[in-house]
Amino acid sequence: MSDGPITDGPVPDQTMGEGTRAVRAGLPEARKYEPTLPGPVFAAHYHLPGEPTGPYTYGRDDNPTWTLLERAIGELEAPGATGTETVTFASGMAAVSAVLLSQVGSGDVVVLPDDGYQALPLVREQLEAYGVEVRTAPTGGDAQLEVLDGAKLLWIETPSNPGLDVCDVRRLVDVAHAVGALVAVDNTLATPLGQRPLELGADFAVASGTKGLTGHGDLLLGYVVCRDAALAARVRHWRKVVGAIPGPMEAWLAHRSLATLQLRSDRQCANALALARALAGRADISGLRYPGLPEDASHKIAAGQMRRFGSVVSFTLPDRAYAERFLAELRLVDDATSFGSVRSSAERRGRWGGDAVPEGFIRFSAGAEDTHDLVADVLRALDAVAAA
């Protein structure tokens, strides 16, 4: 992170609770008559007489609004750690591409999950076009372990989207580091309040801030938190070269949203668990997955590395028409893609064609509604379809 005219606030107390940390993350030192969270800085260039030294020279290189947001995300992803650096991006995919394309080159081997975010196969094509060898394996059962030999970088997505399988990050990191591979973890679904990949040993925590991190479904953002400055320098250089920079307004809205991350996460995760409990055992539901359900296949590993289990629940209805009628019956839940918003949403994932899921597969994102209202709406919709 650049040293700049923005001075750090007091060093966060490590005994501080995560809600307190979320509320105060990245705030500058208190100065009389200054706002507590300074507004977005709209600048393509900055006054720069004489030698062009930083921190703020040109708007594609750095921006004071990013500085505060990057500091905040770093405090949440790696509280108390020294030497970590955060780089924010225009979207989650900008962050994902920045890590992969800045760290590997022709002849290198990359290991990707084969059940991860639906744009990963597009990244795979691009990597292969650049002469990178890409191997894939499923997330569940730590299957990626089997294909690590000779790899330069291991990409983990846990819980995976949309299947909600979980892998043991510490175990994969140990083996990857032993064979000389870097490890990146996509932390989008968990958010830093659910899981801290750097503490589990990963070299990069990468995420889309579009989802639960900012949680209002009104902006796109991405970030990379790097274990050390040398890794961060390449990621930052990539951002400068491709120009995939966040707008100052988005960066500021994201920072503002972080203050409620714990409040939102607590309600959304509680709603997801209540919903999963209400769906378990229903005759019209199969393949129910939520890592927070004690009986879920992922629960044991998830409980060993996650603090919260996320807002996403997945399940399968008998067929496509059944799933479509269910979505149409819902009153409090938007039929929309994406997840992590304070407003519940759900979609029939198979409509996109990218994921290997059954036609009736539903990805459900629990919002911050009152639990009894949300669960009642879902059960009413299911009953209405079953009765039709």
Ligand X SMILES: *Cc1c(COP(=O)(O)O)cnc(C)c1O
The sheet with strand 345-348 has its strands ordered as 286-289, 312-316, 361-365, 345-348, 334-335
**135 lies in the site for ligand X, by CB under 6 A:** no
CB of 336 to ligand X, least distance (A): 13
**197 lies in the site for ligand X, by CB under 6 A:** no
Binding mask 55-94 for ligand X (x = CB under 6 A): ------------------------------------xxx-
**347 lies in the site for ligand X, by CB under 6 A:** no
Q: Is the dihedral of CA 345, 351, 355, 357 positive or negative?
A: positive
Question: Which among 16-24, 184-192, 229-237, 325-333 is the span making contact with ligand X, rule CB under 6 A?
Answer: 184-192
| Of the candidates 92, 135, 87, the residue with the CA atom closest to the CA atom of residue 112 | 135
**214 lies in the site for ligand X, by CB under 6 A:** no
For 359-375, b/e burial (b = at least 16 CB within 10 A) is: bbbbbbbbbbbebeebb
The DSSP code for 58 is B
Interface with ligand X (CB under 6 A), residue from 26, 27, 85, 117 = 117
Interface with ligand X (CB under 6 A), residue from 84, 139, 210, 257 = 210
CB of 280 to ligand X, least distance (A): 24
Contacts 24+ apart (CB under 8 A), 4-12: 4/54, 4/55, 4/56, 4/62, 4/64, 4/67, 5/55, 5/56, 5/64, 6/38, 6/64, 6/67, 6/68, 8/71, 12/75, 12/79, 12/80
Q: Smaller CB distance to ligand X: residue 189 or 245?
A: 189
Token duo for residue 121: 């196969």
Report how many residues bind ligand X under the rule CB under 6 A.
15
CB of 206 to ligand X, least distance (A): 8
d(CA 284, CA 6): 56
Cross-strand partners of 86 = 225
Interface with ligand X (CB under 6 A), residue from 62, 115, 186, 203 = 186
The CA-based dihedral angle spanning residues 8, 258, 218, 42, taken in that order and rounded to the nearest 10 degrees: -10
d(CA 132, CA 369): 45
Which residue's C-beta sits nearest to ligand X?
92
Interface with ligand X (CB under 6 A), residue from 188, 191, 271, 365 = 188
Q: Smaller CB distance to ligand X: residue 292 or 340?
A: 340
Q: Smaller CB distance to ligand X: residue 189 or 225?
A: 189
d(CA 73, CA 222): 11
Q: Smaller CB distance to ligand X: residue 75 or 186?
A: 186
Site for ligand X in 216-275 (CB under 6 A): 220, 222
CB of 373 to ligand X, least distance (A): 26
Please state, as a whole number, how many other Cβ atoms lie within 10 Å of the Cβ of residue 42: 12
CB of 340 to ligand X, least distance (A): 8
**345 lies in the site for ligand X, by CB under 6 A:** no
CB of 157 to ligand X, least distance (A): 6
Residue listed under structure tokens 């400055």: 229
Site for ligand X in 139-158 (CB under 6 A): 157
- Give the contacts of 259 (CB within 8 A, at least 6 positions apart): 22, 23, 25
Q: Smaller CB distance to ligand X: residue 139 or 262?
A: 139
Site residues, ligand X (CB under 6 A): 91-93, 96, 117, 157, 161, 186, 188-189, 208, 210-211, 220, 222
